Structure 1
């Protein structure tokens, strides 16, 4: 199996919504973004699938070393072998790959965030940086496009947090800021024990409205000259916003179930965004 085939398999097996936006890219950019996605999955799985924190730290340290090897042109893992040829053409910065690993390491050190400022820092590492790297692969001519991508990454992560509240709680993690739990009078114990309430719905509605606002802020930053190149991100935004609407329509029953869109609907939303240009 070639490095590119390994990354393709990783993307397909994940069932991620991101995969649908990759389908519309030219072959070379599609290989690059698939390799980036596979890198993110690999380091994320290092934390999520490892029950021993010390082992997870050692694995993340290995990935830090592997990123350095990739930057020097000597990668050993299929993912970094697939990524390495795309670093120079798309001006992918090594510090951003290390920042993603920093974000994964934050999950080993922290399971709560006191306020939105702290949560935004975490989101920057695990999502906004990925947005910046992705935008470079899609094609950038203006700095405002990178600002758009950074903010869009934040919006995606806020959506993930809403969707995965129950799943994260079962791992002992609550990403909703502590001061907002207090503001809406939702004890952490309610989330950890999957107790749905009217106050919980109000809290989640607040989270969803903020996420939608961030989507609007991001889209307002995208220059018209780069809109066509950035269509994969716009496809993802359409899919994720539809998911957010679905979660809200369902009454935010995210503590006991993971709400998702069907593959057909994701493909339809991606296609509709693509033809709209």
Structure 2
């Protein structure tokens, strides 16, 4: 995190939109205009609060800013939207987005904002995944138009699949920032009881921990695709593309393995294009 404060935006600007090269951007482009714009408004909110956690200055400033975001969400639902959340007014009205899901996202960012996460227990890790990924999914599935029960289940499993994939992909980068998202119980199984992030990822048996977490991610992908198969295809283009694209990252880290040096993985352009074509057209 930055040592100096980064000014927080008074509006959710176009600068917060996803990069055109990202799988998220590609997935959102598949949506009709109104749903796409709603997703961009949600994405911009998530980016803004994530920036507080990562670049918002000293802990007291980050805490105050996240509290302010929470207050802005409450005022928004009370009919008094601040300028920076006005783009959320119409998506909330049109798609029934829930206030508690926005608060869950803020709470997830707070978990990163005030103290670096190091070897959380499995319950805490699952809560973190729910807040930073599945809560976003719960907002998203309502915009996509997925039936309620299936949508909530899809958000649960796909959010966790994607977030665990991120954790496995980024273990070295996270360690340089003093963070370690691998669960405490799995680290203890290889003899690590109170590791620093760097010591953990340098451990000769760290591959066992990562492989076990990858199995959990794979199960969430299996559940994701089972739910998608039960839903109308016209409302699942975006989650299909996201699940397929992120699965490429998981496959890439599994193929690379866990021995050092670990090169950062990136799926080939041809594979990503194939995913975009398959799930963007069908």
Q: Provide TM-score, normalisation by structure 2.
A: 0.86
- Cα 1:256–1:39, aligned 2, differ >3 Å: closer, same or farther? farther
* Alpha-carbon separation, structure 2, partners of 1:90 and 1:207: 34
Q: Secondary structure at the match of 1:232?
A: helix
Structure 1 residue 17, shift from structure 2 partner: 2.7
CA RMSD of the aligned region, Å?
A: 2.5
Q: What corresponds to 1:205 in structure 2?
A: 211
Q: Secondary structure at the match of 2:205?
A: helix
1:60/1:101 contact within 8 Å kept: yes
* Alpha-carbon separation, structure 1, partners of 2:56 and 2:148: 40
Q: 1:208-238, CA deviations, whole angstroms, 9 ceiling, x for partnerless residues?
A: 1210111102222346343430220110000
Q: What corresponds to 1:132 in structure 2?
A: 138
How is 1:119-268 mapped onto 2 (pairs within 5 angstroms)? 119-185=125-191, 189=195, 191-193=197-199, 196=202, 198-222=204-228, 224-252=230-258, 257-261=263-267, 265-268=271-274
How is 1:19-168 mapped onto 2 (pairs within 5 angstroms)? 19-78=25-84, 80-107=85-112, 108-109=114-115, 111-168=117-174
Structure 1 residue 118, shift from structure 2 partner: 2.1
1:235/1:269 contact within 8 Å kept: yes
1:115/1:178 contact within 8 Å kept: yes
Aligned residues: 271
Range with bigger deviation, 55-64 or 189-198? 189-198
Give ranges in structure 1 of 5+ residues lacking alignment: none
Give ranges in structure 2 of 5+ residues lacking alignment: 1-10
Structure 1 residue 187, shift from structure 2 partner: 6.7
Range with bigger deviation, 246-255 or 185-194? 185-194
- Cα 1:253–1:68, aligned 2, differ >3 Å: closer, same or farther? farther
Q: What corresponds to 2:5 in structure 1?
A: none
- Cα 1:138–1:263, aligned 2, differ >3 Å: closer, same or farther? farther
Q: Provide TM-score, normalisation by structure 1.
A: 0.87
Structure 1 residue 194, shift from structure 2 partner: 7.6
